[in-house]
Structure 1
Amino acid sequence: MRLSTLIWSSFLQTCLASHAQRHIGKNVSIPTVKITVDKGTHFQVIDGFGVSEAFQRSAQMHGKAGLSPSSQRKALDFLFSDEVGAGFTILRNGIGSSTSYTLDFMKSIAPTDPGGPNSTANYEWDGDDGSQVWLTKEALKYGVQYVYADAWSAPGYMKSNGNDTNGGSICGVIGTSCTSGDWRQAYANYLVQYLRFYKEKEGIAITHLGFLNEPDLNQTYASMQSSGFQAGDFLTILAPTLKSSGFGDVKLVCCEATGWNDGEDILAELQSIPGAEETLSVYSSHGYSSNPALPFKTSISRIWQTEWADLNGRWNVAWDNLGKEGEGISWANKIQQGLTLSSISGFLYWIGAETTTVNSALIRFSNDTISVSARLWAFAQFSRFVKPGAVRVKAESSVGYVRVSAFETVGGGLVLNVINNGHVGVKADVEVLGGKGKGGNVTSWLTNNGNNLTMGGGFSVTSGGSGGVDFNGMVPGRSMMSFVL
């Protein structure tokens, strides 16, 4: 063993011993965790991580709630910058269905009934879209790669209940009977026109398109119900409409169920409609009613978790305080388990930033004050380093409370994310199999109660060693550390 390695090993053991003694007494052995990464065993391709600013949260960020231009820039930096923020790469916008911007409504691009599904639609474009145009242009400057436009509902006159709120279904899909007729083609045309406005008026290419949000629920805000059968029925109209309109490169997304179990049920129904599953590039679900804890049985190559948040807990900025749902370490584990258990390629929190009193957002506005939660830094541990095109590779930990995930980057580098859920620091001995990764430059980034994605976090990493170890480093208790090669 080299002298430098011996010196490092002694220093590391001293740090660990001191940390452990402060927490659980003097007579304690320092845990060593063996982590094995196999770059030769590949899983899903990663599309990235992101947020939404739908329902006029973009307008709040743009100053509607009193945020000054300098604070607006800070909020943008926290969400999209790779230097000081999370470096998100997916933005989820809302396609409006309401007749106005009253309250936080998302206004439709065709708010008035043309008189029937075969009549000429009365389209209008205000160049703002609830400040989503501004936000999208800003996000693209930072390097956001995917703009996902999703509709919570069709305009009310296209639905079985005549309203864009309180559920109802698209007139014409399986199981509906509307005196106004079959609006499936009109709704498909409506969605295409939204894409066209963004492309031709604003120079923005929307990359992903969805037409449902939580179709298993009936809500008092913009909402529309659909079974998987009905979603599949509409997809057989929407997909060829996109292609014939020159938007065949836009990737279709469905079906945004409230929870993972509901998503599994809707998927099984959709698969019974001939050709429907093949139209989709992404199958999506949310994490509210049931966590992502299983892989979906589908040939669709991309699975996205597109909306999830702690909607009930009071605003909480802590990483690890009382073990609450909204704390950062809780979300670090949710993200990692979604990636490893459900093969998720895209993971989105609900709102990036807003005026709120609960944990629905990662960043809170209060007049011109910005408060950043540790949930944002939990996301940043992934999104800053694991960029679109990275591939998840096999990673295993010898200790159950130390959870790991690993990713090979587009350039052949490696990102290893380690969450130590224990209360004592551990020495992580890492062995990398199946390719480059031995002896290269390794940096570490730490988030815990005292650090927000801090490089090194006060702890060193050393390369080489005995017993097949390629590098090792300390991971403090109740912390997350990313090792980047």
Structure 2
Amino acid sequence: MKKVVKTIALFGILTAIGCKKPADEPAVNYLKVNVAPQTTFQTITGFGGANRMWGTASLKPAEAAKAFGTGDNELGLSIFRVRLSSNKNEWPIIVEAVKEANKRNVKVLASPWSPPPALKSNNSDVRGTLLPENYKAFKDYINEFLAFMTSNGAKIDVVSIQNEPDWKPTYESCDWTATDMINFLKAPGQIVGAKLAAPESLNFNQQMTNALLSDPEAARKFDIIAGHLYGGGIGRFPLAEQQKKEIWMTEYLLNLDTGNAGAPKWSTYSETAKWTETMKMLTSVHDAMTSNWNAYIWWYLQRYYSFIGDGEEGTTNGEVLRRGSAFSHFSKFVRPGFVRIDTQADGNYFLKITAYQNGPQTVLVVLNTASSTVKNVQFNGLTPKSATAYTTSETATLVKKELTVAAKAVTFDFPGNSVTTLIINN
């Protein structure tokens, strides 16, 4: 059992639950957080976003620089998701964008929405199933895609078997059960040249995921547990952790439901509504990290509701949006190879805190979900030489502040409804 340090004064408790001190005594919210680098969790693979999946509007070099760079007004994304098309004629569309990611050491995940129609039960790229007699042929098709990309100087690091195998839409798709996927993995043929991810289910279905992990032969055939967050799915995956599989969240989208027929346009919503949804997105990242997941990948990284504007709904094509800046509190500062470490705090009513370390640098990402400022939050347990804070809220974007180190501690006031990254150099 971990030692819990008493970290909040009685008055701080009373204040947090709405009680007030007498008028002659000033109100103070006081919280001590102990950072415990000796307690380690998962190694971070990265945070990313997706390319446009259909059509020819692939990520261009100028936008790729903003998406993958780590300088000012850049997002630091370290994973890029693309579509493995069921039509070979579409493969060249993504080559330039993948090469831009490769130049910056960004990992690339390719996901198929359907095998080629000729390999399926209904000869269509919508619904249907992959015929068992064509399991090897589909593996060969994936290998041909990987070889094509390599021959064009574009490296794919990870490939998936199927996007959302348990979702039955009326667009490009393919139906798979857990048994189907197990049989596919165990069938003759082998995917070579990239790591393999599965099952990429709609809501990170534990039953489907654990079925693959519970079959020893199938489990040996893939490297990464992957899934999406539509309708739920965040939680620990003990079997995956036991088998030392990486856990990747490979798609999630929040856009105030503007994609639905007849829905109000994005431009009609207030900045408060948009920021409230952005905080919901950030909370899902926090929850994924505290569930020991290694990677988090958002949906389209360039779209009016996303990280970089596309020229629609009042955005400027190529501009970094506030939602992108908010996501960069994780993606730009928590880099691949960082290890999540523990934090302990009593009375932590509003703050969601995760901490990460790489060598002498500790990075903390703090969400204040309260509407008011949480003041005098003191971080202990490290030996800081310097510290810097970056804060984003509805009205501020990556506001930088150099912090004072006193008595081996760093103190900061967290504005209401905000995300702050603290970079502490030890």
Q: TM-score, normalised by structure 1?
A: 0.74
Instruction: Specify the alignment match of 2:155 in structure 1.
Output: 205
CA distance in 1, matches of 2:159, 2:128: 21
Instruction: Specify the alignment match of 1:309 in structure 2.
Output: 253
Q: 1:374 to 1:294 in 2, by over 3 A?
A: farther
Instruction: Specify the alignment match of 2:14 in structure 1.
Output: none
Q: Is the partner of 1:30 in helix, strand or coil? A: coil
Out of 80, 83, 86, which is 2:68 matched to? 80
Q: 1:305 to 1:129 in 2, by over 3 A?
A: same
One-letter amino acid of the structure 2 residue matched with residue 190 of structure 1: Y
Q: TM-score, normalised by structure 2?
A: 0.84
CA RMSD of aligned residues (A): 2.6
**Which structure 2 residues correspond to residues 71-470 of structure 1 after superposition, within 5 A?**
73=62, 75-83=63-71, 84-97=73-86, 108-109=87-88, 129=91, 131-141=93-103, 143-165=104-126, 167-172=127-132, 182-200=133-151, 202-237=152-187, 241-243=190-192, 247=193, 250-260=194-204, 263-298=205-240, 299-311=243-255, 312-313=257-258, 314-315=265-266, 321-322=272-273, 327-340=277-290, 342-354=291-303, 359=305, 361-366=306-311, 369-370=316-317, 372-398=320-346, 399-409=348-358, 411-425=359-373, 426-432=375-381, 437-456=382-401, 460-465=402-407, 470=409
CA distance in 1, matches of 2:295, 2:93: 24
Aligned-pair CA distance for 1:324: 6.9
Indicate the structure (1 or 2) with the bigger Cα radius of gyration: 1
CA distance in 1, matches of 2:223, 2:58: 32
Q: 1:480 to 1:324 in 2, by over 3 A?
A: closer
CA contact (8 A) 1:306 1:349 kept: yes
CA distance in 2, matches of 1:272, 1:40: 32
One-letter amino acid of the structure 2 residue matched with residue 188 of structure 1: K
CA contact (8 A) 2:386 2:403 kept: no
CA contact (8 A) 2:196 2:223 kept: yes
CA contact (8 A) 2:102 2:154 kept: no
Unpaired runs of 5+ residues, structure 2, are: 1-22, 259-264
Q: Is the partner of 1:363 in helix, strand or coil? A: coil
User: C-alpha offsets along residues 367-408 of structure 1, whole Å, 9 cap, x if unaligned?
Assistant: 793354432122100111111111111123331211100001
Q: 1:274 to 1:293 in 2, by over 3 A?
A: closer
CA distance in 1, matches of 2:405, 2:370: 25
One-letter amino acid of the structure 2 residue matched with residue 38 of structure 1: A
CA contact (8 A) 1:153 1:222 kept: yes
CA contact (8 A) 1:48 1:88 kept: yes
Out of 395, 415, 421, which is 1:476 matched to? 415
Q: 1:220 to 1:205 in 2, by over 3 A?
A: same
Q: Is the partner of 1:85 in helix, strand or coil? A: coil
Aligned-pair CA distance for 1:316: 6.6
CA distance in 2, matches of 1:401, 1:169: 47
CA contact (8 A) 2:68 2:106 kept: no
One-letter amino acid of the structure 1 residue matched with residue 394 of structure 2: N
Q: Is the partner of 1:133 in helix, strand or coil? A: helix
Q: 1:61 to 1:270 in 2, by over 3 A?
A: closer
Aligned-pair CA distance for 1:451: 2.0
Q: Is the partner of 1:309 in helix, strand or coil? A: coil
Unpaired runs of 5+ residues, structure 1, are: 1-24, 63-71, 98-107, 110-125, 173-181
One-letter amino acid of the structure 1 residue matched with residue 331 of structure 2: S
One-letter amino acid of the structure 1 residue matched with residue 79 of structure 2: I
One-letter amino acid of the structure 2 residue matched with residue 131 of structure 1: I
Q: 1:78 to 1:32 in 2, by over 3 A?
A: farther
Q: Is the partner of 1:224 in helix, strand or coil? A: coil
Q: 1:28 to 1:211 in 2, by over 3 A?
A: farther
User: C-alpha offsets along residues 181-220 of structure 1, whole Å, 9 cap, x if unaligned?
Assistant: x1011100000010001112x1222111112011111122
User: C-alpha offsets along residues 98-123 of structure 1, whole Å, 9 cap, x if unaligned?
Assistant: xxxxxxxxxx12xxxxxxxxxxxxxx
CA contact (8 A) 1:328 1:373 kept: no
Q: 1:57 to 1:79 in 2, by over 3 A?
A: farther
Aligned-pair CA distance for 1:315: 2.7
Aligned-pair CA distance for 1:225: 1.2
